[in-house]
Amino acid sequence: MIFLGAIYISDKKAFKKRAEELRRQVNYHNYRYHVLDSPEISDDEYDVLIRELEAIESQHPELITPDSPTQRIGAEPSEAFQPVRHRSKMLSLANAFSRDELNDFFNRINMRLASVAYLAEGRDNEPSDIMRKFADSSIPELGAEEVELVCELKIDGVAVSLVYENGVYESGATRGDGEVGEDITANIKTIQSLPLRLLHDTPPETLEVRGEAYLSKEQFKQMNEEREEEGQALFANPRNAAAGSLRQLNPRVTAGRSLDIFIYGLGSISGVSFSNHWETLEFLRKAGLRVSAYSKKVNTMEEAYAYCEEWRERRHTLPFDIDGVVIKVNSFKHQEILGITSKSPRWAIAYKFPAEQQTTVLRDIELNVGRTGAVTPTAVLDPVVVAGSTVSRATLHNEDEIKRKDIRIGDTVIIQKAGDVIPEIVAPIVSKRTGKEREFVMPATCPVCGGDVVRPEGEAVARCVNINCPAVIFEHVQHFASRGAMDIDGLGESVARQLLDKSLIRDVADIYYLTKEELLIIEHFADKAADNLFSAIEVSKERPLARLLFALGIRHVGAHVAEVLAEYFGSVAALSRASHEELTGIDEIGPKIAESIVDFFGEERNTQVIEKLRRAGVKMEQAVVARPEQRFAGQTFVFTGTMSKLTRSEAEAIVKSMGAKASSSVSKKTAYVVAGEEAGSKYAKAKSLGVKILTEEEFMGLING
Ligand code: IVH
């Protein structure tokens, strides 16, 4: 259908018609892709349509219309943004920060609506009665259930106002002071999900809509990564990044930023009318505008509050930032009765979540030495409440991170605590510097033992290299005895500290040589406690091999990797002999882990500790489960298209059990690409790289030997 093509059409009228048809199709598919998230045609088919349209337009420039999908990034960079007066004022919202404040809002609207209803009943000669009724705040009885509300997510982006004239996108502006904003027509036009022409057959004469332009979390991350690579200052959050992108004088820059938009309401309109907000949203959605699907119509305050609570907890699962929930009275008649104050409507409120970003002062940078000797800087902050809890410390990860963010001691900094995430410093506020701030330098010696601190080339982490560093041993003893490791009940932080301070142990193996008498030296330890610890130590000798491997504290060997290794090797001795190649041949073991294991066993002190553990009677092996043939060890398979006898995950499981890896992308290193029905781009890529391609039948033949 696409190739009705330009070639057969000769006269101008026909070109014009064809261009219109192409625009209609492109707009429709654009809408399916960007707004509904459900494309009907492939990217390639879409490109064919666009290319045909471009061809017609380049031959007949007079046919180009401003709403043509080819014109999204048309405009030239400008010198400055022009002021524009909004057709109707852009209001802001009053905030509620607690359930009580939400209650006040509901009570206020109920009171006003009820009093109007009361007066309308012709009982306006009894105002004192009404007041009495409200005074005891038994409001619900006045018909709270009848006030329909709409709950919406409060998108954390930049408020914008857009105008469509007879269905065609005319202009876009920032909020400004609510009456006059800045003209960002060209920048808004680069937003792919924004229809340049509404889908209605008979669009309203004027449609001014309001919405929030924003940057998704993913786009924000990507953008900051790119900026970091280019040595540019990072944006603190998606909102700042969106604002920055919208205020680019060159629309081409904005286009590269992949902004998106949600439309949530009306400005001034002519040629249509609505009776409530919900209906408006439906209308806007049908017009092809991107309206949030998370909105919900409710009837009671409890439901509205439940919506707020639900999204307060689930906000981190969304692909974009929200900073609260907006609750709006649905009926326009109700809205009219409630009216507006000087700045904000009385019929809506923003329920704001606790802020996840705050500013505070960085007082100092403290250094901690971990189990692997890693010297980690921690920020000491003036205590501040973020997302509901007091924060006085934040991780700084490493020296580079401090340099990269240009964080100095004494800086006022933005800190962030998103969800369960550990608090972190986002950025310093450079404008608040006084000149007294100090740059951080990683010391050359360990703050605990005075040993050398070394940072190997290419690594971000500096480490104390003294294997006898008390801080390292202390951390290791605690890890060794912890729940997921050897699980020695009673050997917590304070006992570990004393055992080391009193020189009763020097390494983890010494734990198994402690006598009951020695344990009695521990402060507050009576016979019973010493007995208990003694038997807990005995019992721990029998822990499964995986626990021991985890307890040894080999870098990058967490509980799961330890399980994999235990199952594969069956003993500490076998693992200690494994080569780098053998290790990387195992599913889930990458080069980093392999290197760290080889290094660990290459260190004499470690083998001594293991020998001591063995002599003490700590279990060092387990039965090896018979392994299937590892015929494809080290090879990678890629499956593409649909197979008739196996699902993709079944096929992947088979090759994995034979030692191979399954990947989703083709590279030169891919051993085989197995192509089922309707194999797509991976097939083509394999072909161009010269990777061996198998049919399903050939694949079955291969695995069956
Ligand atoms: S309604 C008169 N609905 O929050 C009603 N605002 O001060 C005006 N915002 O910057 C706003 N999501 O852009 C409304 N679903 C939503 C919203 C929303 C985000 C922004 C708005 C403004 C601020 C409200």
- Helix H, strand E, coil C: the string for 80-131 is CCCEEECCCCCCCCCEECCHHHHHHHHHHHHHHHHHHHHHHCCCCCCHHHHH
pLDDT of residue 619: 95
Centroid of ligand 1 to alpha carbon of 267 (angstroms)? 12
**This prediction's pTM:** 0.65
**From the CA of 496, how far away is ligand 1's center (Å)?**
55
Residues 360-389, mean pLDDT to the nearest whole number: 92
343 neighbors 91 (Cβ within 8 angstroms): yes
User: Top-level CATH class of 470-615?
Assistant: mainly alpha
Tokens of 268: 């001034």
Q: How confident is the model at residue 387 (pLDDT cuts 50, 70, 90)?
A: confident
If you average pLDDT over residues 295-311, what whole number do you get? 94
Tell whether domain 2-71 is in CATH 1.10.3710.10: no
pLDDT attached to residue 120: 61
**pLDDT value for 113:** 85
CB 386 within 8 A of CB 401: no
Q: Is the pLDDT of residue 137 over 60?
A: no
- Is 154 among the residues known to form the active site? yes
227 pLDDT tier (thresholds 50, 70, 90): confident
78-128 residue pLDDT tens: 778 899 999 999 999 999 999 999 999 999 998 888 877 666 665 544 444
Residue list for the binding site for Zn(2+) = 446, 449, 469
d(CA 209, CA 150): 18
The residue whose C-alpha atom lies closest to atom 2 belonging to ligand 1 is: 91
Query: How far, in Å, from the CA of 212 to the mean position of ligand 1?
Result: 7
Categorize the per-residue pLDDT at 142 as very low, low, confident or very high, splitting at 50, 70 and 90.
very low
Give span(s): CATH 1.10.150.20, the chain.
470-615
pLDDT level of residue 235 (50, 70, 90 thresholds): confident
CA-nearest residue for atom 7, ligand 1, is 92
Instruction: Give start-end residues of each CATH 3.30.470.30 domain in the chain.
Output: 153-352
Q: Residue 70: count other Cβ atoms within 10 Å of its Cβ.
A: 19
Q: State the average pLDDT over residues 62-74.
A: 85
Once rounded to an integer, what is the mean pLDDT over residues 668-688? 89
The 8-class DSSP code of residue 31 comes to I
Q: Report which secondary-structure segment, H or E, holds 621.
A: none
- Which position has the token pair 């990947």? 663
Q: Whose CA is nearest to atom 21 of ligand 1?
A: 159
Average pLDDT over residues 679-693: 89
Residues of the chain with CATH 1.10.287.610: 2-71
Which CATH number describes the domain made up of 636-703? 3.40.50.10190
Q: CA 453, 457, 462 angle in degrees (round to 5)?
A: 30
Q: Binding site: which residues?
A: 43-47, 92-93, 152, 175, 212, 328, 352, 446, 449, 469
Candidates 86, 151, 154, 336: which one to mutate for ligand 1, based on the most atoms within 8 Å of Cβ?
154
**Is residue 214 over pLDDT 80?**
yes
CA 54 to chain centre: 37
| Identity of the amino acid at 346 | R
In this prediction, residue 524 carries a pLDDT of 80
The residue ranges of DSSP E strands in 41-179, in sequence order, are 83-85, 95-96, 149-155, 158-165, 168-174
Tokens of 590: 């990458």
Ligand 1 center–CA 159 separation, angstroms: 7
Quick one: pLDDT at residue 318? 94
Q: Which two tokens mark 428?
A: 């310093």
* Model confidence band, residue 359 (pLDDT cutoffs 50, 70, 90): very high
Tell me if residue 392 falls in helix, strand or coil: strand
Whether domain 153-352 has CATH 3.30.470.30: the reply is yes
Residues 6+ apart with CB under 8 A from 549: 557, 562, 565, 566, 572, 575
User: Which CATH number, 1.10.10.10, 3.40.50.720, 2.40.50.140, 3.90.226.10, labels domain 357-452?
Assistant: 2.40.50.140
Rounded to 5 degrees, what are φ and ψ at 268? -95, 145
In terms of pLDDT, which residue wins out, 7 or 206?
A: 206
Pocket test residue of 90, 150, 153, 155 for ligand 1, highest count of atoms within 8 A of CB: 155
pLDDT of residue 79: 74
Q: Is the pLDDT of residue 44 over 70?
A: yes
Of all residues in the chain, the percent with pLDDT exceeding 70 is 93
What are the tens digits of pLDDT across the range 583-613? 998 888 999 999 999 999 998 889 999 999 9
Q: Which of 228-232, 351-355, 612-616 has the lowest mean pLDDT?
A: 228-232
Which residues are registered as beta bridge partners of 684?
none
Domain(s) labelled CATH 2.40.50.140 in the chain stretch across 357-452
Ligand 1 centre distance from Cα of residue 277 (Å): 14
Q: Which of 154, 417, 661, 682 is catalytic?
A: 154
- Residue 128 has what pLDDT? 45
Binding residues for NAD(+): 43-47, 92-93, 152, 175, 212, 328, 352
Cβ–ligand 1 distance for 277 under 6 Å, the answer no
Q: Is the CB of 176 under 6 A from ligand 1?
A: no
